[in-house]
Structure 1
């Protein structure tokens, strides 16, 4: 019997390299986890990485915060917790706007090779951060800067300018069966 020919599963593109815009969206679990995994990969390759979380508060100490701090990867909470539980939506909006200004400055500085905007779709959806400005900043960032945006219901204008879009789809989740969030798995 003849040995089968080995075929590459793809043809390696020969195009130009540039900073990518990746969007992880959908109603399934894993958007932030995927972004943090990418941040670890980039850090491991010597890229300068910074993470902004638009819903988590500044003092949050979930598992990812502890691990990233040990590795020296800056992660900054920009919100006041889960926005849908906010008692003061004006304050939540102000935090999102202030956070966007910090994130925008980091993106445009060119100092960071990868900037993660975790849960950024929420302030965009609520109208707290201008979608037009957000997209414009991403389109005009320094050419080497990679950006990852996570969150449910990513707006079409964001999807249109993204280089890679991944939609996480929920098939089944323990929470729907009455199982609370598990330490080390969900937080």
Structure 2
């Protein structure tokens, strides 16, 4: 145990740079958005400013939305509100909605008062080519130095993976839905 303690101590002494980070939570498993909202709660616990833009979600009310809107109205919260875009047959309307949501995200990414910005399900906007990858990377590069950003969603491209400081891939091993269990309020939405 002492050896582990020494190794951990050495690593923490080597980490001397203080700046915000970009975290990409990706993969086919459940829990990417939940993890991001956990970080929002952590920031709120410290009295830090949080902004959230949700791409894709928004037609079905979620517990996260209820909690933020009712208990933490100081949190900037914007939803694209088109639902799952793969169910849409109006690509132009989806692109316009993505661009509108991105415009809200850019405002957050330019505001140094935000400690944490969550771009929930942003990776789909890259996969579907609703938003330009270089435009997103440029905004992330130019954000305030102390601002951290969490991006969630499946895929998203290699350039985003390379740019992010931390990439966690959540693996789908088993899911109750495939066994016929309905999504549960408070657990799944």
- Unaligned 5+ runs, structure 1: none
| 8 A Cα contact 2:53 2:105, kept in partner | yes
Matched residues in 1 for 2:33 and 2:26: separation? Answer: 9
Per the alignment, do residues 80 and 167 of structure 1 end up closer, same or farther by CA in structure 2, a change over 3 Å counting?
same
Residue 28 of structure 1 corresponds to which residue in structure 2?
A: 29
- Unaligned 5+ runs, structure 2: none
Matched residues in 2 for 1:60 and 1:114: separation? Answer: 25
Matched residues in 2 for 1:167 and 1:120: separation? Answer: 15
Matched residues in 1 for 2:159 and 2:68: separation? Answer: 31
Q: If each structure's helix is expressed as a fraction of its own residues, which one has the higher value?
A: 2
SS in 2 for 1:116: strand
Candidates 88, 92, 101, aligned match of 1:86: 88
Shift in Å, 1:7: 4.6
| 8 A Cα contact 1:25 1:151, kept in partner | yes
| 8 A Cα contact 1:79 1:92, kept in partner | no
Shift in Å, 1:140: 1.4
Residue 39 of structure 2 corresponds to which residue in structure 1?
A: 38
Q: How many residues align?
A: 183
Matched residues in 1 for 2:99 and 2:2: separation? Answer: 56
| 8 A Cα contact 1:52 1:117, kept in partner | yes
Cα deviation 1:129-170 (Å, max 9, x = unaligned): 100110111111110110000000131100101110000000
SS in 1 for 2:57: strand
Runs of 4+ in 1 over 6 A off after TM superposition: none
- Pairwise CA RMSD: 1.6
